[in-house]
Amino acid sequence: MANLKDRPRFALTEQAGQRIVLIAEDGSRIELFVLTKDIIRVLVLPHAELRGPRTWSIAPDQDDVPLEGRERRDLSGFAPAPFSCVNDGAHVVIETSCVRVSIALDGGFCAWHILRDGAWHHVMNDRKTQAYNFGFWDERVYHYVERRKGELCVGLGKRAGMLDRSNQSYEMRNVDAMDYSARTTDPLHKHIPFYITWQPQTATGYALFYDTLADCRFDMGRKLDNYHGHYRHFIAEHGDLDYYFIASPDTPLNAVRHFTWLTGRPAWMPKWGLGYSGSTMSYTDSPDAQRRMGEFIDRCREHDVLCDSFHLSSGYTSIDGKRYVFNWNREKFLDVDGFVQSYLDEGVKLVPNIKPCLLQDHPAFESVAKEGLLIETLEGEPEWVQFWDEVGAYLDFTNPATIDWWKARVKDSLLRYGIASTWNGRVEMWRGGMWRGGMWRGGSRSGLSVAAPFVWWCPNNLTMAPLPFAGPAVGRSSAN
């Protein structure tokens, strides 16, 4: 394994189709994929092989990713883009009609250029001291790039603070950050490891998307270390460094369009999903929840408030004050059919909260665990996590049997009453500070940890697939 003094020396060993492979004597690999004229992917493998799971993020020009995920080296959906690849003994230079990347064979450092108005603009450099972790520090994933004066950085999903992320740092670890400060709280709910760098001096920009489900951190220049110069960096707790460089000359909107094309188009929501939607925890937490919900409809009628939907918080599932997914509290809701119909009669669609996890004393927990539908430790035990009311375990949506169980419960517990959509909550999967190796076992087969982005995405699509409209109305807030 390389060290800081003897960094890896790469050689061009393979060029097949859209893929270029560089390998060092110690086995370290850098693979580059020319996906379009605007998008080049970099996969860094210090251990010579993939350590992370397949991807649930990449769906080029598609509506969604297959439920089973996508193999990391699958290039389906990417039409071959013309490019050149030149090896001068010191650098390998890959060039499309829009992007040029030069990879130094001594260390694997990348330098990126974008063509705009007939001129090549140098837009990004890997940090010259160390850019990647070839066994230099620990087992985590690192990427360091040089930072320039005047750059603007935007993105990373839902974050507190200024729109320009420069000179700040952000932890990407999904938590239920109820009552957060829009100025200072971090981390928040979302896991979107994508940001755009815009350089106003040349009206040129680019985006970086890191394809990982691991907990990670982005330091956008908050940390200063004079040994390295000005830089920003990305660190992931486990997996592989697998990032996409997306060119965006002329406008940052190009990066957004390419990212949407790369990761799959959003589902179309029904027209009613664009209207006012009511929601509060207080109604469903009340012992007379059905009456309180009726008062809301009465008030809307009294004040001529147009309401198209209501996000039903999880109090409707309670047993002795704790929340149990797919349970209806019949003391709070004496007539579920009548309750749902009363809202439909007023043109209001109910969107009930459901959670892809079972508390340890959930009525179905024992049978679900016996069938191997939960995320488990390597020892075959449920992977316990803390929820609001109790410890429990998440459902393993890499297991097809779990998907079938989930779909059946959604239909039996909700859709049969005339409910049109669901609201997926409590998907902030975290084990108090660290993953244990990042690997779990699902049932009798080897499985992988499924972090919150996938857990959140998967059930919603499963629920909505059989319904007779184009897409779901999805709610994401802490009031669940």
Dihedral of alpha carbons 404, 408, 414, 415, sign: positive
Higher pLDDT, 12 or 64: 12
Say what the pLDDT of residue 194 is.
98
Percent of the chain, pLDDT > 70? 88
Note the pTM of the prediction, 2 decimals: 0.87
Report which DSSP code applies to 415: G
Say what the pLDDT of residue 461 is.
33
Say what the pLDDT of residue 428 is.
54
Average of per-residue pLDDT values in the chain: 88
- Does residue 442 surpass a pLDDT of 60? no
- Pick the closest to residue 107 from 84, 83, 136 (CA basis): 136
Length of the chain: 480
Q: What is the pLDDT of residues 257-298, one digit of tens each?
A: 999 999 998 888 889 999 999 999 999 999 999 999 999 999
- Does residue 331 surpass a pLDDT of 90? yes
Residue 73 CA neighbour count, 13 Å, CB half: 13
Say what the pLDDT of residue 55 is.
95
- Does residue 467 surpass a pLDDT of 70? no
Say what the pLDDT of residue 204 is.
96
- How many angstroms separate the CA atoms of 39 and 35, rounded? 6
Say what the pLDDT of residue 474 is.
30
- Does residue 462 surpass a pLDDT of 90? no
Neighbouring residues of 195: CB distance < 8 A, sequence distance ≥ 6:
153, 154, 155, 156, 165, 207, 208, 218, 220
Q: What is the pLDDT of residues 397-423, one digit of tens each?
A: 989 999 999 999 999 999 999 998 998
Q: What is the CATH number of domain 271-464?
A: 3.20.20.80
The band of 463, judged by pLDDT with boundaries at 50, 70 and 90, is very low
Higher pLDDT, 419 or 440: 419
Say what the pLDDT of residue 266 is.
83
Cis peptide before 187 (omega within 30 of 0): yes
Token pair 């509290």 in the structure block, residue: 329
Q: What is the pLDDT of residues 157-179, one digit of tens each?
A: 999 999 999 999 999 988 888 88
Q: Residue 127 belongs to what H/E stretch? A: none
- Does residue 387 surpass a pLDDT of 90? no
| Domain ranges across the chain | 10-263, 271-464
| 10-263: CATH superfamily | glycosyl hydrolase (family 31) (2.60.40.1760)
Is there a contact between 205 and 250 (Cβ–Cβ < 8 Å)?
Answer: no
- Pick the closest to residue 152 from 142, 134, 170, 166 (CA basis): 166
Q: What is the mean pLDDT of residues 55-65?
A: 93
Say what the pLDDT of residue 427 is.
59
Q: What is the pLDDT of residues 360-379, one digit of tens each?
A: 999 999 999 999 999 999 89
The band of 304, judged by pLDDT with boundaries at 50, 70 and 90, is very high
Q: What is the pLDDT of residues 185-214, one digit of tens each?
A: 999 988 999 999 999 999 999 999 999 999
Is there a contact between 109 and 131 (Cβ–Cβ < 8 Å)?
Answer: yes
Q: What is the pLDDT of residues 334-360, one digit of tens each?
A: 999 999 999 999 999 999 999 999 999
- How many angstroms separate the CA atoms of 448 and 473, rounded? 29
Say what the pLDDT of residue 420 is.
84
Say what the pLDDT of residue 444 is.
27
Q: What is the mean pLDDT of residues 140-164?
A: 95
